[in-house]
Structure 1
Amino acid sequence: MSLGDEPGYGDAPRGADRGYGGSGQTRTRLPERDGDVYGGARRGRGSSSRSLITVVGVVVLLIAAIAFANRGGDAPSSGGEGGDKAETSPTAASGDRPVDAKSAGIPSGFPHTGEGAQSAAANYAVALGSTAMFNKADRDRILATVMVPSKVAEYEATLDKAYTAQFNKNVGLNEDGSAPQGYTFVSRTSAIGTKTTAVSPDAATVDVWCSGLLGLAGENSANPVTSSWFTITMKMEWAGDDWKIVTHKQKDGPAPVPGDDRASGADDIAKAVQEYGGFTYAR
């Protein structure tokens, strides 16, 4: 839980006019997440849950097996339909409509612009940080959707070596990646904002600042659901009429000071995960 900090977590494409460049934050279009936790007191980063996030983070880093290209300088804002407000405020939405299409359940058909690349990256980060990454068939489907075709087989092989039966057991799951009876496995990534650090007509480097949830919700869980903050960097290309990921890597932070919220119970977390749907992100 990118997951945010977990395997996957992904990001990437969009497609249509040519106002390249632009930096700023992500605009959201829909709903997602939450839940009084496993022990009543304010939830901290216990060693067991932190270990879970760390081990899953290792898998995420495996996605970046190919060295990431050097970043370019900040690109100027493209403006788009957002007018002066979009150009002067990094948090302003572009005004573009969110995509209507989906491929394998993942938003697709992003504009062929720098802002389109940001929107694609945010949505791909969510897919790559989902529980589906722990299932071989679902993971391959996600990779085939968000990666450039030439990298799909390579990334499948890399992640197959990471998502083993033993790995699943280490994070508290059954060998096949399913949650034990009586528990709900939570792995969610939310995009807080995006920016392009390099952009050209058919390529872009996008940073996605994310918050993630990861763990097992259930009574006496050894790995309760915890939150994390991380940034995913994706190098992307325009391929097959959409933005696709070429390389992907992540680093910790920036993370805010934890608040004084009381941790919710396992039942509340599990219920929230089942009832709250996700977002489609648009820059």
Structure 2
Amino acid sequence: MKKIGIFYFSGTGNTEIVARLLTKAYRRRQIEVACIRMEAVVNQQTPLVLDDFDLIGVGHPVLGFGASGIAERFVKMLPAGSGKTAFVFKTASSPHYVNHGASDVIIRAMAKKGYQVFHNSIIAMPCNFFVKYDDRLNKQLYQAAVKKVEVIAAQTAAGQANKLKFNPLLRGFLRLVYYGEEHFGARFFAQGLHTTAACNHCKKCVRDCPTRNISESAGQICFGSDCIWCMRCVYACPNQAIQAKNLAGCVLHPYTGGFNIEAILNDPQIDENFVTASSKGYYKHLINYFREDSSIK
């Protein structure tokens, strides 16, 4: 294999972490890699040229059981695949099977265009929505992701297939949930976004919004209705000056995953032994996930 093209969308940094880990894993195998943000292609900042790639990787977060509007817009822009092989990876706060079908729409769209998607995977990362994970769990998830990325890189480089189990009866219902969240929930959330006195008008949110939903007018930061609820503007603001009025409970204070994960990775006081073989309740479902890479015994 000569070259791999990884195209990814990342709202708050979790998928970007995985994309970069994959890039390093391929390069250790002496494979050339280009790692490109989907939004740069969707917003026509970067040309979409696939001819040089032997393998295409598509990565996205799970947003409302779906792949996000950015990922779907990107796939619509893809040229005919003519049998080109591809793989898909997704990040979610849980590897639960209800998240397995989040890539279904884009995989089927790619297949219609002639791409052979032979590998589909999911990696659990820190939750950035409503539920704040303990920093020990965030660190544990990252350490597991490092190991799982090595497996993904080895399998995809060798052309080894991987499928995720998904109940097709859930497809229609989860698609409806996704549509409602991104088209109605996100719009309602965006209507309540506002900046506080801490805003210094650096315009980072304006530059970084993947859907170009944020602008500045008459000295005010304005939020439109083309929001996909990715939470990037809220968590990436250097002054934490963007606050939510509507559905404020979805915002975590502070969010220590994604863009901010380095702080806990470099803190020796935080161990990565939150989920153990004896864990109960919600976190019990993560036991087998961690056992797959021997994170727990």
**Shorter-normalised TM range:** under 0.3
Larger RCO (CA under 8 A, 6+ residues apart): 1
* Higher-Rg member (1/2): 2
**Which structure carries more helix by proportion?**
2
TM-score by length of structure 1 reads 0.24
TM-score, normalising length: structure 2: 0.23
